[in-house]
Amino acid sequence: MPTNEERAERAREVLKMYAVQFGDPNDPGGTLIDVLTDLMHLEAREPELGLEFNSSLKMAQCHFEAETEECLDT
């Protein structure tokens, strides 16, 4: 199971790769918004994928809370 530090590093790499290819490497906040927006466009254009952006975002929040809580218990 990855650590929270490893999870954060994976996310940093995703943002970096996306920014280099499609956006501004000096604007990580803008890149995050672009990634999320593009995922919403994908969900809207390809319903056969079965993506559910809002419910996935809520589930991601639950996972984040559980994973960060885990750190507080140690």
Domain boundaries, the chain: 4-72
Q: Give pLDDT tens digits along the chain (74 positions).
A: 899 999 999 999 999 999 999 989 999 999 999 999 999 999 999 999 999 999 999 999 999 999 998 655 44
For residue 67, what are the CA distances in angstroms to 7, 39, 70? 10, 23, 5
pTM as predicted: 0.84
Give dist(CA 50, CA 56) in Å, integer: 11
The pLDDT assigned to 69 comes to: 84
Give dist(CA 62, CA 56) in Å, integer: 10
The pLDDT assigned to 68 comes to: 92
For residue 53, what are the CA distances in angstroms to 2, 6, 13, 67? 24, 24, 21, 21
Angle of helix 28-45 versus helix 4-22 axis, rounded to 10: 80
